[in-house]
Amino acid sequence: MLYQATHLTHYKYEEPVAQCLSETRITPRTFLRQRVLKTTLEVHPEPTVLERRKDYFGNHVATFSVFRTHDHFTASATSIVEVTPRPETILPDISWEEAQLDFAVHLDDISLQAYEFVFDSPFVTSSFELAQYAHPSFPAGRPLAEAVQELSHRINTEFLYKPKSTSIDMPLPEVLQQRRGVCQDFAHIMIGALRSLHLSARYVSGYLRSGADVQGAEASHAWVSVFIPGYGWLDLDPTNDVIPSDGHITLAWGRDYGDVAPVKGISLGGGKQTVEVEVRVTPVQAL
């Protein structure tokens, strides 16, 4: 599938901002199943310095500063992305305990890479409660691929998708207790549950094809990727209870939201601020 994805973030300030610094991850990355054919990034007001680099996880980062007084700020990225469907291969039946051991031993570089995502990160701390939550889906000897699909399904049914019911600073145990949230929370819960079992999971930010009957298409979306030894990374979207294929466009991945937040920034002054995000993903014909 070929898409045009537009991601617009707009900040409005009550008081003038003398200067701001910002870091964005709104340019999709290229990897096995995804190719970025064209991409542009526009910032308003015109930034003084704009720099691009790749971060530790290989995501595209743009850093910039604005040094003139402004009362609104817009960052918008437009990309043409080609996504190929997930191949219909049969998932390996390695049990979750064997997988656990595989990470712990990490004999090759691939599993060493996966091992990094077994550990706690600033937004996702493993806990006894999360392990307990995961437990029913992880009976002894069950294949990991099967277990994680069920976990994703359970989160989808047992948690209520409710915009504005959480903030990103809400500690995971609280989200677990109140059983509601948005896609970021669903992803964090699932990652936390897996890490509490010493399994490897990472956070993926991206977009959904609009129009379909899915949650989270109006803004940027988030889901989970689980490492299955012998197969590789398997994406799972607990918010929509699907295995992402060519309807999901990947922006960036990391340990949690903090590693891949689409727009971060610090402003000098500004007072109260409001933020609006607009994401539009439309299929396009070949260029």
Partner 1 sequence: MNETKVGAKTEKMEWQYQPTSTHWDEAIRPSGMPRHHWRKLYTSIGRMGFAQLTRRWQTGQHLIQTNGITYNVYGDPQGKERPWSLDPIPLVMDGQEWAKLEQAISQRATLMNHMLGDLYGAQRLIHQRQLPAALLFGNPNFLRTCHGIEPAKGVFLHTYAADLARSPDGKWWVISDRTQAPSGMGYALENRLVSARMLPSAFGQCHVRPLNRFFEQYRESLLNLAPNRDNPRVVLLTPGPNNETYFEQSFLARQWGVPLVEGADLTVRDNRVFLKTLSGLEPVDMVLRRMDDSFCDPLELRGDSLLGIPGLTQAVRSGNVAVSNALGSGLMESPGYMAFLPSLCRQWLGEELKLPSVATWWCGERATRRFVTANLDGLVIKPTFPRLGHHPEFPAYMDSAAKQVLLRRIEADPEQFLAQEQVALSTVPVCTDSGLTPRHVVLRVFAVWDGQSYSVMPGGLTRVSIEANSPVVTMQLGGGSKDTWVLGDDAESSMPSDGGRTRTYAPRGAADLPSRVADNLFWLGRYGERVEAGVRMVRALLPGLSSEEDFGHTATIQSAVQLLTGLNYLPEGLDKTSISQQRWHVGRLLSGMVYDPSRSSSIGWSLKNLRRAAWPVKEWLSQDTWRVLQQLETEFSVTAPVHHELRLVAEMNLLDRVIVTLSAFSGLVMENTVRCNGWHFLDIGRRLERALQTADLLLTSLVQSPFDIEPSMDTLLQIADSSITYRTRYFTEVKVEFILQLLMCDESNPRSVGFQLATLVQHLRSMPANLQQQGSADSQDEEHLPLLLAEKIQIMVQQAVLEDLAARDSDGNLAALEELLRTLKGNLFDLSALLTAHHFSHVPISRFKPSF
Residues found near partner 1 in the complex (CB under 8 A): 9, 11, 18-23, 48-49, 51, 53, 55-57, 63, 65, 67, 69, 106, 109, 112, 115-116, 118-120, 122, 128, 167-169, 182-184, 219-220, 222, 257-259, 261-270, 273-275, 277
> Token pair of 205, please?
């930010």
Indicate the residue among 123 and 149 with the shorter CB distance to partner 1. 123
Nearer to partner 1, 22 or 95 (CB): 22
Retrieve residue 117's tokens.
């995502």
Instruction: Specify burial of residue 109 (Cβ count, 10 A radius: 0-12, 13-18, 19+).
Output: exposed
Structure tokens given for 67:
């040094």
Q: How far is the CB of 202 from partner 1 (least distance, A)?
A: 12
Q: How far apart are CA 220 and CA 206, in angstroms?
A: 6
Residue among 151 and 183 whose Cβ is closer to partner 1 = 183
Shortest Å, Cβ 105 to partner 1: 10
Return the SS3 of 190. helix
Shorter beta-carbon distance to partner 1: residue 67 or 161: 67
Closest approach of Cβ 216 to partner 1, in Å?
A: 8
CB of 58 to partner 1, least distance (A): 11
Strands 160-161 and 180-181: parallel
Rounded-to-integer distance, Cα 114 and Cα 147, Å: 18
Closest approach of partner 1 to the CB of residue 262, in Å:
6
Phi then psi dihedrals of residue 249, to 5 deg = -105, 125
Place of tokens 């699907």: 242
Q: Judged by CB, which is closer to partner 1: 85, or 271?
A: 271
Name the DSSP class of 172: H
CB-nearer residue toward partner 1: 73 or 96: 73
- Quick one: residue 155, left, alpha or beta (phi over 0 = left, psi -120 to 50 = alpha)? alpha
Nearest-approach distance from CB 91 to partner 1, in angstroms? 26
How far does the chain reach from its first CA to its final CA, in angstroms? Answer: 12
What are 278's two structure tokens?
Answer: 């607009």
Which amino acid is located at 92 in the chain?
P
List the one residue out of 100, 109, 86 whose CA is nearest residue 201. 100
Comparing CB distances to partner 1, the nearer of 107 and 212 is: 107
DSSP annotation of 120 reads: -
**Minimum distance between the CB of residue 84 and partner 1, rounded to whole angstroms?**
26
